Structure 1
Amino acid sequence: MTRWVTAAMTMLLFVLGGPGGASAQPMPAQFPVSGAQRVNPDTQLVIEFASPPMIGSMGQVRVFDADTGALVDALDLSIPAGPDPARIRRDGGRDTTVYQRKTIGGVPGFHFHPVIVRGNRATIHLHQPLAYGRRYRVEVDPGVLTVPDGSFDGIKGSGWTFATRAAPPPAGRTRYVVASDGRGDFNTVQGALDFVPAVPRRPVTIFIRNGNYEEIVFARRKSNLILRGESRDGVVVGYGNNSAFNPPEAGVPNRRPAFSIADSTDIQLSTFTINNYYIGQAEALLITGARNILDRMTLNGSGDALQLRGPTYLTGLKLTGHGDTILSVGPAFFDQCEIRSIGPFNWVRNPATNHGHVFRQCTFIGIDEPLPWTRRPDGSGQKVRQVIARLPDNKGINYPHAEIVLINTRMDGIAPEGWGPVQEDGATFSRANVRFWEFGSTDLEGRPIDMSKRHEIVRELKLPQDAKSIADYSNPAFVLGGWSPKVR
């Protein structure tokens, strides 16, 4: 958005103030700029100040139809965004507090922040996109945002107006562009996902230009779709979300990830970054369905940072998490990926009917730091052992067909036993069919790992006797139920 900020700042208005004369007080820049035409209806509203503003706890942001005077949307800052993301209710009580809520991807009830401040910029997130072909007027009460010198007195009257595009982009296209500065078909990733058909006749690409997209993204029942970033580090999609801020509700999809693609087929995500800015159970990405591909993606989450269900192929992935970093029922094939974790890298829960996780030529790096939610002001906190996977009792449930196979992986910072804890054999669980296998594991310098110290459940594959198993598990189609993935 640098260009619009620069342009707007050259058109600053000045107001009179101060005793005994006029003192120049710059009005904050706005996006869309007042008077703008052809604005995308999914735009966020941005106010750029000369110094960092503070979010208030009173007042409203109101959007009116400029022609009819009808109130289109209102955000009340006296309503809290959501439950405290640092606290999870464990007393069994029901939270009756009224929080901010909005519908995302057709699913109602997401808690969200109506205003987010980053540096000098305040971004206002409306409940829903605006309409095409309308003129709008925005009012901001003084209590919504404050600045240290007290110079911001809100936005009133006709001080902020703009008009949206006359019509949406043509349906049936195979490529749409998302650009946060308004120079594309949509300003937000969610806006583009909401627009494209669920089952397009031809593959559709959503191309995301470099920029920062702070939004919860949720889509489901999509197919034949590619989301491609302009550059891996230049496109950042993220939000602060977790199981405390958006707790589970019966009959409602999981709303705690920053980015979700649910119950979808033939989806490919390529070359951009997804961040979850909260800690706890806080996925960067949840993707479920069949025949889905992650291509050179960067994911930064916390606990359960990546959650998968259904055949998924991942290549060139860079993933960072804080324990049980990959939570999945499989099958998933990881090819030349790098995973960093505080605590266990995997908790796999595949049934007997499909494979689990296979890692070919991947790198595991254990992070020797306290779990973030235990960290004290002095930096100390609870540390856990970095292991490839664990398989503990899960409230009376376990996964006797859990499968993780490592083929020619490199690792650093991993505990000598490498795996565990694993539940002991018992009346409801047997280790007999668990497959925790390794072949060719080395440190980062290529020196073989000392397998004699591995957990007793681990099997080391060796040549020539295990040549067939090594070849099978090196083949994505074998792992993914016959699907041979092709990156587009």
Structure 2
Amino acid sequence: MRICTQRNVRTASVDLFPANGAKDVNPDTQLVLTFASPPIIGSSGNVTVYDNEKIIDTLDLSIPSSPSPYGNGSTKANYSDTTTYQSNLVGGMDFYFFPIIVRDNVATVYLHNNRLEYNRTYTVTIGSTVLTLSDGNSNGIDSNFSWTFSTKAQGPGSEATEVTVCADGSADFNTVQGAIDWAPSNSIKKRTIHIKEGNYEELVYFQYKSNLVIRGESRNKTIVGYPNNSAFNPPNRQGPSRRPAFSFKGVADLQLSGFSITNYYRGQAEALLIDGIRVVVDHMNLNGSGDALTTYGTAYISDTTLWGDGDTILGYGSVFWNQSTVISTAGAVSWTRTVQNIHGNVMLNCTIIGEQGNSTFARLPDNTGGVQPNWPYAEMVLLNTKTGGIAPEGWGPVQGAPFDTSHLHLWEYNTMDLDGKPISYSERLNVSRQLVSPEDDTFVEQYKNPAFVLGGWAPVVS
């Protein structure tokens, strides 16, 4: 089983991908330069792509990547800021982005999405100040540095139902986003995107896709990720959140299976944001920070591990969890914002771990200034859950002005420690409820049924 990494061919003292003179290159390729020692990204100079003499794309390194390029600034949007930042259109939405990312000796250049086309020949020039070497040796780039490659004659046709992603260019696409952009919106035909083993450092976002399966070759060795959070990509005045590494909006009948998603920044930084109906997440690793997983709509999550740093689940949607694990470094594991007349987070045969030993399952902080003060219809139901590092009160804090808690479903049944021994409920928060048999058998059986939780949808993992 081969891992898809870029294949580099040496030109002067720099290894290039695509190779100088390469043919049959995918138009979604990134440009990869491998040096003898770690390069340093400059603050001036251009990367320019030409089709004959016509400029197709330019990356100006004098433009900052973000108001908070290290992800450690304000998480609030400054709408009076008139600075121009690096911007890329991803899946129809603007994101701030890094034009170059350096990992060890490798510099990856990210062109603006969808600038290259099939059946064209391109020349790339890189200014001498764009990349320099930390050891003072020549970086192999001077004012005459350039290379040329040609793209494939054509890509997968509209009738195709399966395509493959591999970063070394040996498959239909080099990037996950490139393959997703190919998939038609609102399709009535099921299509599958296969992702080969490899590390795909890219920001992924898409809208209004349906009947789509995105399947990795290996859960632990197919890794999609990006450094992003609410400081690097603060909110727009309107539109979806821009802080996740991988997110989508308005989808239907989508399945993610068999790969890892990682957000490399801390803070409010989702690995995954789900916004759609009938979404399946199966056999996945999700590595985020605060709000590591945000959900809207309906989703079924199975055999999946989620890591986060508190409020690890931010739940607006109806989600049925089956045989999955949630690991939270501190604080409440979830902030469940269920609205009236839908179900919230229901977890069956799952494991919840608070790594610092004092976590709670869900909190309702003072939110009295919002549309839903304290989210009075919040629902989180735990059935046969193994737990570790959970405080004796189990739930909370529930804060703010007094409100009607009669609609809260902070419920648990047969909660155990990690060895499978029953947990004491003696100190549980008073607004939570501990279900017991036989009195609550009807509730337990209802909530064990995904279709009951998900509005009649009976999920099937393909």
Q: Residue by residue, what CA displacement relative to the aligned partner does 1:227-267 show, whole Å, maximum 9, x if unpaired?
A: 00001011100001111111111222211110012110100
Give the C-alpha shift of residue 367 in structure 1: 1.6
Could you tell me how far apart the structure 1 residues matched to 2:78 and 2:132 are?
38
- 1:353 maps to 2:341: yes
Question: What is the match of residue 385 of structure 2?
Answer: 409
Following the alignment from structure 2 to structure 1, what is the Cα–Cα distance between the partners of residues 73 and 217? 37
Candidates 435, 452, 476, aligned match of 2:450: 476
1:91–1:250: structure 2 CA closer, same or farther, 3 Å change rule? closer
**Could you tell me how far 1:395 is from its partner in structure 2?**
4.9
* Contact 2:290/2:312 (<8 A) preserved: yes
Question: Deviations along 1:43-65, whole A, 9 cap, x unmatched?
Answer: 00000111111111111111111
Q: Is the CA contact 1:214–1:239 (under 8 Å) kept in the aligned structure 2? A: yes
Matched position secondary structure for 1:266: strand
Equivalent residue in structure 1 for 2:59, among 75, 84, 105 = 75
Structure-2 residue corresponding to 1:131: 117
The correspondence of residues 67-216 of structure 1 with structure 2, limited to 5 A, is 68-84=52-68, 85-88=71-74, 94-107=80-93, 109-129=94-114, 130-147=116-133, 148-154=135-141, 157=144, 159-216=146-203
Q: Does 1:333 align with 2:320?
A: yes
Q: Over residues 452-478 of structure 1, what are the superposed CA-to-partner deviations in whole Å (9 max), with x where a residue is unaligned?
A: 011111111111111111101111011
**2 CA distance for matches of 1:288 and 1:186?**
25
Q: Secondary structure at the match of 2:214?
A: strand
Deviation of the 1:400 alpha carbon: 0.6
Cα distance change of structure 1 residues 4 and 404 upon mapping to structure 2, 3 Å threshold = closer
Task: Find the residue that maps to 1:291 and give its secondary structure.
Answer: strand
**1:92 offset after TM fit, Å?**
6.3
- Aligned mates of 1:220, 1:42 — CA distance in 2: 19
In structure 2, what is the Cα distance between the partners aligned to 1:348 and 1:4?
39
2:46 is the counterpart of 1:46: no
Give 1:94 shift.
2.5
How far residue 447 of structure 1 moved from its aligned partner, in angstroms, is: 1.2
Asked if the contact 1:141–1:153 (Cα under 8 Å) also holds between the matched residues in 2, the reply is: no
SS at match of 1:419: coil
Answering whether residue 320 of structure 2 is matched by residue 310 of structure 1, we say no
The amino acid that maps onto 1:329 is: Y
Partner letter of residue 394 of structure 1?
A: N
Specify which structure has the higher proportion of strand.
2
SS in structure 2 opposite 1:472?
A: helix
Q: Deviations over 1:300-340 (max 9, x none)?
A: 00110001011100001100001111111121000000100
Which SS does the other structure have where 2:213 is aligned? Answer: strand
CA contact (8 A) 1:5 1:29 kept: no
Distance in 2 (CA, whole Å) between partners of 1:458 and 1:478 is: 21
Instruction: Give me the whole-angstrom Cα distance separating, in 2, the residues matched to 1:325 and 1:274.
Output: 14
Match for 1:128: what amino acid?
Answer: N
Classify the secondary structure of the residue corresponding to 1:62: strand
Name the larger-Rg structure: 1
Residue 95 of structure 1 aligns with an amino acid whose one-letter code is: D
- Residue 389 of structure 1: CA displacement? 0.5
2:423 counterpart (446, 449, 472): 449
| SS of 2:181 mapped into structure 1 | helix
Contact kept in structure 2, 1:177 and 1:207, CA below 8 Å: yes
Contact 1:264 1:288 in 2 (8 A): yes
Asked if structure 1 preserves the Cα contact closer than 8 Å seen for 2:128 and 2:143, the reply is no
Measure the CA separation in 2 of the matches of 1:31 and 1:184: 15
What's the offset of the Cα at 1:438?
0.7
8 Å contact from structure 1 (residues 424, 431) kept in 2: no
The one-letter code matched in structure 2 to 1:333 is: F
Provide the TM-score with structure 2 as the length reference: 0.95
Corresponding residue SS for 2:237: coil
- In the alignment, the residues of structure 1 paired with residue 109 and residue 77 of structure 2 have an alpha-carbon distance, to the nearest angstrom, of 34
- Percent identical pairs in the alignment equals 48
SS in 2 for 1:452: coil
Q: Which amino acid aligns with 2:290?
A: G
Report the AA paired with residue 374 of structure 2: N
- Structure 1 unaligned regions, length at least 5: 15-26, 370-384
Specify whether residues 133 and 111 from structure 1 end up closer, same or farther in structure 2 by C-alpha distance, changes over 3 A only. Answer: same
Contact 2:278 2:298 in 1 (8 A): yes
Describe the shift of the 1:232–1:126 C-alpha distance in structure 2 as closer, same or farther (beyond 3 A): same
Task: Name the counterpart of 1:57.
Answer: 43
| Aligned residue number for residue 418 of structure 1 | 394
Are 1:360 and 1:406, in contact at CA under 8 Å, matched by a contact in 2?
yes
User: Given the superposition, is the C-alpha separation of residues 180 and 470 from structure 1 closer, same or farther in structure 2, using an over 3 Å criterion?
Assistant: same
Task: Supply the distance in 2 between the matched residues of 1:473 and 1:337 (Cα, whole angstroms).
Answer: 16
Do structure 1's residue 258 and structure 2's residue 245 form an aligned pair? yes
Q: CA RMSD in A?
A: 1.8
- Residue 274 of structure 2: aligned partner: 287
AA at the equivalent of 2:362: A
Q: 1 CA distance for matches of 2:14 and 2:28?
A: 22
1:3: Cα distance to partner? 8.1
CA distance in 2, matches of 1:180, 1:204: 20
Indicate if the aligned counterparts of 2:200 and 2:223 stay in contact, CA closer than 8 A. Answer: yes
- Determine the C-alpha separation between the residues in 2 that align with 1:467 and 1:443: 22
C-alpha contact (below 8 Å) 1:406/1:437 kept by paired residues: yes
Distance 1:238 1:32, change over 3 A: same
Q: CA deviation at 1:156?
A: 5.3
Matched to 1:310, the amino acid is G
Distance 1:93 1:269, change over 3 A: closer
Q: Aligned to 2:407, which of 428, 433, 436?
A: 433
Q: Which runs of 5+ in 2 are unaligned?
A: none
Report SS of the residue matched to 2:429. Answer: coil
Aligned length: 453
Rounded to whole Å, the distance in 2 between the matches of 1:313 and 1:319 is 14
In structure 2, the CA distance between the partners of 1:75 and 1:411, relative to structure 1 (3 Å rule), is same
